[in-house]
Structure 1
Amino acid sequence: MTSKYCLILLFCSVFFACSPSENKEFGKDISTAQDQIREGKAIFKQECSNCHNFNSNGIGPNLSGLTRTVDTPWIVEFINNPQAKMDAKDPRALALLEKYKAVMPSFHVLGEQKINSLISYLHTFELVQPEIDPDSVINLIEAGVPDSGIRLELELFAQLPASDSLPPMAKMTKMEPIPGTDRLMINDQRVGIYQLIDQKPQLYLNLMEQRPDLVSKPGWGTGLGSFSFHPDFVSNGLFYTAHTEPGGTRTPDIGYTDSLVVFMQWIVTEWKANDPAALTFEGTSRELLRVNNPTQAHGMQELTFNPHSKKGSEDYGLLYIGYGDGGSPERGFPDVADNEAKEIYTGILRIDPAGRNSRNGNYGIPASNPFAGVAGKAGEVYAYGFRNPNRLFWDDAGNFYATDIGQHSIEELNLVKAGGFYGWPIREGTFIINPYGNLRKLYPLREDENLGITYPLIQLDHDELAAIFAGYIMSYGELKGRFLFGDILSGRLFIADLNQKPKPEVQTVKVIFEGKEMTLEELVGGRVDLKFGIDAEKRVYIMSKNEGKIYLIK
């Protein structure tokens, strides 16, 4: 465990590269005209807010105080052409690349006036150096994660075609077979669904063509976030997708206060193939659900069916949907997330695509759902209190799990029970958080707490990983019977026996490629953007958006 939680953030060290000996008055030439600041605020919200904020580092650095510590011409040049700064070996630009593992896109299309307005808005934010709260948790999780000694041998299996000219080259999030077949399907969030035939991708569903309002920028989970084929697809031709469109594209089925911007909408679509055996989709579709989302983040990251349910069982054919908080607490509206299952935000949902008793009449709410028919509750909700439930899965015994990406400190794996409350936004892991205050501060639980919260089966802090993502329970090799998961950003891999009592012990595993032990960052040449896949033979794959490559775990 490092002491990063014990120290005041050394904010200038990476992004601003400022020197204590400098005594320059930065930003004195920046306009403070109110109309220009208002224009800059709108530009920031539209173009910058998905990667930057003024409270903490995210996809890109915290921008508070930028204009007061860096020359204005440098900022203008960087906004216009970040790659030129990299090519010129500019020290500050290279430090950014080293820390964030990606090059910011050029915004030269904004033009001089809009860039100046943007800088005027940035100049309204002072440099933030958070104080240490004496009541806040200092050391979160003391014990580090040990190395298991196990090394996974990887073999390059397939490559998706590039859907962009800069990393991530292909934005896959899921690779699974069509139930009852060996047809292996994989998505690219920008494009649609491919089938891997003889390890070569063939486009099955061109979602860009079918849904021209599809948007997969800015990054993160946007675009075609997930897909799932019905257990009876081979006979009924039904499958489901979740994708994003710009806010205001259509009238939503579910929304929130008018005071909070609608940045995007998440849409669940049911597709019916005319010929389920066809290698290219032809058929019909209908929209099941459309939900407003305030940011590009924490939306609909998972669609899935319980693979262990049998025909005739209560769970068979019911579609599970993971839906996060939409980024609402970070936008200053924690009440959207803190809703006590009155709405779907922070919920794992369970719906019946064949039913029609929902609010919009397009799907069904199973009578066995814990809040079905309960006044003031969203009947779709199966469990709630998740910030970003990005992967849902079951073990062979029927236990149901969800990984949940945390705010600034804790990553979780939860054992999901019907009707359970999993803490967000008043808990992050087993720590108290005040969603109406500073989201960076955590506090220890009180002995007298009795709020009915279910706490994680596994929790790890950001010393170990930044964003958790679930793989699979392995059925072969040295990891047989153990759960494999990892860190989206770095690709660091972990294992645990989920049946171990009282709590699963977590260990790390490393990889070998072409006879050489290496990290996944070394393998893919930068930020990994880790995902996992599985085939009909239960072989597990490691996938990286960075180069769009898929590796088989041998």
Structure 2
Amino acid sequence: MGVRRRWVSAITATVVAAALVAPTAGAGPTTDPDAPITDPIPEQPEQSRLGLVLQEYAQLPASQATPPATDPRLIRHNRINYVGEVPDGSGRMYVPDLNGPLYLLDGGRQHVYLDFKERFEHFYSGRGMGSGFGFVTFHPEFAGNGRFYTVHTEDEEAIATEEPTYPNQPDAFVQSVVTEWTADDPSAEKFSGTSREIFRFGFSTQIHAIQQIDFNPTARPGDPDYGLLYMAVGDGGIGLDTDIPQDMSTPAGKILRIDPDGTDGPNGQYGIPASNPFVGRPGAIGEIYALGMRDPHRFSWDPGGRHAMYLGHIGQHAIEAVYEVRAGDNLGWSPREGRFEFRPENQCWLYPLPEDDEKYGYVYPVAAYDHDPPPNWPCNSDSGHAISGGQVYRGTDFPRLRGKYIFGDLVDGRVLYTEVDEMRRGEQRAPLHEMQLFDTGGKRMRMTDFAEDGRVDLRFGTDSKRNLYLLAKANGKIWKVVGTRTGAGSEVTDRVERDLVAYYDFEHPFAADDSRELDGGSSRTLLTQVNGGEDMRVHDGAYPGSNNALQVKQVAPEANGNDDWKAGTWDGDADGVESLGAFNGAKGATVMGWFKITGENPSPNSTTPEPGDRFNAVGLAGILSGDSDGHGVRALLELINVDGQLRLVALGRRLDGGASQTFAAQQNWREVLPPGEWVHLAATFDYTTGEMALYRNGRPLPGFYTVPGDPWQVDRTGTSATNPRGIKIGGSFPRNDVERNPCNCRMDSLMFLDATAGADTIAQQYRRFLRH
């Protein structure tokens, strides 16, 4: 047994990584400054019982990128990315869509106020997550002066002809353009008026351009900050291995602050506030408010307290961070990622801060979480994480939310919070909590359920009454927070959690590839949904609180192909699946989960020419042996033909290459698994005694051993000292080169334990599911 991790716990396992130098698992003190850190933030967000009740507020129309996108991350229902309230007392809400439209929502009615795709000849949104109509903010005196400000991107043709405010980055690919608009009638439903360009800057790549622009809503007339425009400028994607974010002569990798009413900027279209921290410094542009940033995605001000400014900063491959930003701050990118040293030559790991770190004056996050890529996913690939900065709740309707900074992960859709009082500069990171989510009927859901996609593209917004809103590009919807409630605790009992190596509940699609499922056990081993991909995750649930299940099935009974829907993990190398090392030499194992028959079983045998032939088994779930070809198992729950009759069995093997033993249920399998009914099954294996058992709905199933004698060669020790070759679910050969023993069924909450669970443990877990 090792350190355990589940969805509802802050416990985590160490990332498994191969290295010539043994990496450090956490960020604790080390005497070796070159010792890489693979798990920089071991603490996972703690699952809170506090939940948000979400009510659908608006459905925005579909839209397309210009030119048409080929990146699937840009091919969404639409690309709405914020919701706010027009500051004129009208109650109208505004919503920008990166693909061009600016919508106004008025009493539930929605209409296009201004369309950037139609307005600008060189408008560009076809490549880059932030390309297009990025943001809009209204002047605090919009009701009187009709002024608002936008940022959008333009293509290479514009770069060739338009003069930038500051020299473009080398080989610029897109330009961000900030525009001031003045409406003839601020109350009109559609824009009519004038505009002027106030800032233009070109970026080398299509990523990390200008994201948000905004006014400080806590500033009042007469305050030094009143009417000043903040602009979050990314590093253009080249801060990774250049000093651009630290270069004070360029806007890239900075937050800028300008005065739209001034004229002393380099192009005469805006002013540079004299209170900016670097005004007059040789070699520095005066617009800089803070520096050292990669992708400053979203910032907001606390409406109460000290009116602190909080920034959600998207990291490279490791850290997603919240910073409290003050004038003159240097967040440290790219010498630093979060509170760690970053080295571009090895992006899989971070490194301890040097002993003389204080001399650099970098500012570190007040809250952060790390990516923790699954062990069987390349560490330098997108692991589906990016922070979406949020809002501090200071409203009066929901007292339990007051003083909480509510934000999230824009990719996987987790909604997080931290207490403002615990976010202190210069101290340890504030604890993070993951919030539960409910629909108005009280059903617990995740944002992937609300957004109907494994990649949510989550954003946050607010209105003048401090109400919170969540929105998703995946289906183009906006939800309003209309309540809070207390959710249930974990669906996993403490006894099971202690030994839980792998756990797949099919509520956690891997955001970087939602044909895979995240593991809620200690191993964090990604599960592949073979052939059917994301379509195998269906809206069904075995117990209260479950929303999704896995569908497996035979696809083409007449063809000996490789198209059956099944799931699993596979590594045919001699070392097997390292993340499943808890089963190496294990003294016991347990396989359990929920199953529902949805079709004909056993399936026609597609490997023989006789149309009447049937497979002699129906695959449920099992752990492969260390020398498996994709079929041989160490512990298996399955339906198998025993003496001419199909039976539910526990089939196990103690030694690689050794004989197997089968414990078969006496009861007719069709009574055990009636069609269309969810049933909880478990199989246990004690390798030290040779004892096996089966359970149905928490109760033992009478059965018998099918092999006489001692096929396991029991000697009171565990299994072979080898890692399993993988896990198979719904049929054999998870590497998908052979079809055998498909199951036409659904599965939910599959658990694989590296210990022999007792009858009380299984009964307790079954009851926990039903109470959840």
Normalised to the residue count of structure 1, the TM-score between the two structures is: 0.74
Q: CA deviation at 1:439?
A: 3.4
Aligned residue number for residue 391 of structure 2 = 472
As a proportion of its length, which structure holds more helix? 1
The answer on 1:522 being equivalent to 2:449 is: yes
Task: Provide the C-alpha distance between the structure 2 equivalents of 1:529 and 1:219, rounded to a whole number of angstroms.
Answer: 14
Q: CA deviation at 1:320?
A: 0.4
The answer on 1:551 being equivalent to 2:451 is: no
Shift of the 219–335 alpha-carbon distance from structure 1 to 2, 3 Å rule, reads closer
Q: Which of 142, 153, 156 is residue 42 of structure 2 equivalent to?
A: 142
Q: Which of 324, 328, 335 is residue 234 of structure 2 equivalent to?
A: 324
What per-residue deviation string (whole Å, max 9, x for no partner) do you get for residues 269-318 of structure 1?
00000111111100000100110111121111101100011112111100
1:111-150 counterparts in 2 under 5 A? 135-150=35-50
1:480-491 counterparts in 2 under 5 A? 480-491=402-413
Aligned residue number for residue 262 of structure 1 = 172
Q: Which of 194, 209, 225 is residue 103 of structure 2 equivalent to?
A: 194
Partner AA of 2:249 in structure 1: K
Q: CA deviation at 1:138?
A: 2.4
The answer on 1:388 being equivalent to 2:295 is: yes
Q: CA deviation at 1:153?
A: 1.0
Partner AA of 2:105 in structure 1: L
Q: Which of 299, 303, 306 is residue 213 of structure 2 equivalent to?
A: 303
Q: CA deviation at 1:261?
A: 2.1
Instruction: Determine if contact 1:248/1:262 at 8 Å carries over to the other structure.
Output: no
The structure showing larger relative contact order (alpha-carbon pairs under 8 Å, at least 6 residues apart) is: 1
SS of residue matched to 2:136: strand
Farther off after superposition, 300-309 or 459-468? 459-468
Aligned residue number for residue 421 of structure 2 = 499
Q: Which of 118, 123, 144 is residue 235 of structure 1 equivalent to?
A: 144
Shift of the 235–433 alpha-carbon distance from structure 1 to 2, 3 Å rule, reads same
What per-residue deviation string (whole Å, max 9, x for no partner) do you get for residues 103-127 of structure 1?
xxxxxxxxxxxxxxxxxxxxxxxxx
Task: Provide the C-alpha distance between the structure 2 equivalents of 1:378 and 1:408, rounded to a whole number of angstroms.
Answer: 30
The answer on 1:429 being equivalent to 2:338 is: yes
Task: Provide the C-alpha distance between the structure 2 equivalents of 1:517 and 1:317, rounded to a whole number of angstroms.
Answer: 42
Q: Which of 101, 118, 126 is residue 209 of structure 1 equivalent to?
A: 118
Partner AA of 1:399 in structure 2: A
Aligned residue number for residue 439 of structure 1 = 347
The answer on 1:154 being equivalent to 2:81 is: no
Partner AA of 1:226 in structure 2: F
Aligned residue number for residue 511 of structure 1 = 437
What per-residue deviation string (whole Å, max 9, x for no partner) do you get for residues 148-198 of structure 1?
111211111101111139841111111111124222111111122111022
Instruction: Determine if contact 1:240/1:270 at 8 Å carries over to the other structure.
Output: yes
1:281-360 counterparts in 2 under 5 A? 281-330=191-240, 334-339=242-247, 341-360=248-267
Task: Provide the C-alpha distance between the structure 1 equivalents of 2:179 and 2:79, rounded to a whole number of angstroms.
Answer: 20
Task: Provide the C-alpha distance between the structure 1 equivalents of 2:151 and 2:81, rounded to a whole number of angstroms.
Answer: 12
Q: CA deviation at 1:219?
A: 4.3
Aligned residue number for residue 85 of structure 2 = 177
Q: CA deviation at 1:329?
A: 3.4
Aligned residue number for residue 368 of structure 1 = 275
SS of residue matched to 1:298: coil
Paired residues in the alignment total: 425
Q: Between Structure 1 and Structure 2, whose CA radius of gyration is higher?
A: 2
SS of residue matched to 1:309: coil
Task: Provide the C-alpha distance between the structure 1 equivalents of 2:39 and 2:94, rounded to a whole number of angstroms.
Answer: 43
Shift of the 256–279 alpha-carbon distance from structure 1 to 2, 3 Å rule, reads closer
Task: Provide the C-alpha distance between the structure 2 equivalents of 1:192 and 1:459, rounded to a whole number of angstroms.
Answer: 33
Task: Provide the C-alpha distance between the structure 1 equivalents of 2:331 and 2:206, rounded to a whole number of angstroms.
Answer: 23
SS of residue matched to 1:329: coil
Farther off after superposition, 216-225 or 158-167? 158-167
What per-residue deviation string (whole Å, max 9, x for no partner) do you get for residues 495-527 of structure 1?
111122654321110111243211111222211
Instruction: Determine if contact 1:146/1:507 at 8 Å carries over to the other structure.
Output: yes
The answer on 1:7 being equivalent to 2:17 is: yes
Q: CA deviation at 1:8?
A: 3.8
Instruction: Determine if contact 2:246/2:291 at 8 Å carries over to the other structure.
Output: no
Partner AA of 1:499 in structure 2: D
Normalised to the residue count of structure 2, the TM-score between the two structures is: 0.53
Task: Provide the C-alpha distance between the structure 2 equivalents of 1:200 and 1:529, rounded to a whole number of angstroms.
Answer: 24
Aligned residue number for residue 495 of structure 2 = none
Instruction: Determine if contact 1:383/1:418 at 8 Å carries over to the other structure.
Output: yes
Q: CA deviation at 1:482?
A: 0.7
Q: CA deviation at 1:4?
A: 6.6
Shift of the 4–241 alpha-carbon distance from structure 1 to 2, 3 Å rule, reads farther
Task: Provide the C-alpha distance between the structure 2 equivalents of 1:541 and 1:256, rounded to a whole number of angstroms.
Answer: 36
Identity percentage of aligned residues: 37
Shift of the 463–352 alpha-carbon distance from structure 1 to 2, 3 Å rule, reads same
Aligned residue number for residue 739 of structure 2 = none
Instruction: Determine if contact 2:34/2:351 at 8 Å carries over to the other structure.
Output: no
Task: Provide the C-alpha distance between the structure 1 equivalents of 2:224 and 2:156, rounded to a whole number of angstroms.
Answer: 36
What per-residue deviation string (whole Å, max 9, x for no partner) do you get for residues 398-439 of structure 1?
21121100000001111111111110011000110134x333
Farther off after superposition, 479-488 or 136-145? 136-145
Task: Provide the C-alpha distance between the structure 2 equivalents of 1:213 and 1:172, rounded to a whole number of angstroms.
Answer: 20
As a proportion of its length, which structure holds more strand? 2
Aligned residue number for residue 54 of structure 1 = none
Task: Provide the C-alpha distance between the structure 1 equivalents of 2:372 and 2:108, rounded to a whole number of angstroms.
Answer: 37
What per-residue deviation string (whole Å, max 9, x for no partner) do you get for residues 188-220 of structure 1?
111221110222321111222221211111241
Task: Provide the C-alpha distance between the structure 2 equivalents of 1:139 and 1:248, rounded to a whole number of angstroms.
Answer: 44
Aligned residue number for residue 225 of structure 1 = 134
Partner AA of 1:532 in structure 2: F
SS of residue matched to 2:243: helix
Task: Provide the C-alpha distance between the structure 2 equivalents of 1:358 and 1:434, rounded to a whole number of angstroms.
Answer: 36
Shift of the 488–299 alpha-carbon distance from structure 1 to 2, 3 Å rule, reads same
Give the gaps of 5 or more residues in structure 1: 10-132
SS of residue matched to 1:444: coil
Instruction: Determine if contact 2:14/2:42 at 8 Å carries over to the other structure.
Output: no
Aligned residue number for residue 168 of structure 1 = 76
Instruction: Determine if contact 2:58/2:477 at 8 Å carries over to the other structure.
Output: yes
SS of residue matched to 1:532: strand
Shift of the 151–245 alpha-carbon distance from structure 1 to 2, 3 Å rule, reads same
Task: Provide the C-alpha distance between the structure 2 equivalents of 1:224 and 1:145, rounded to a whole number of angstroms.
Answer: 33
Partner AA of 2:164 in structure 1: P
Task: Provide the C-alpha distance between the structure 1 equivalents of 2:280 and 2:93, rounded to a whole number of angstroms.
Answer: 39
Alpha-carbon RMSD across the aligned residues, in angstroms, is 2.0
SS of residue matched to 2:199: strand
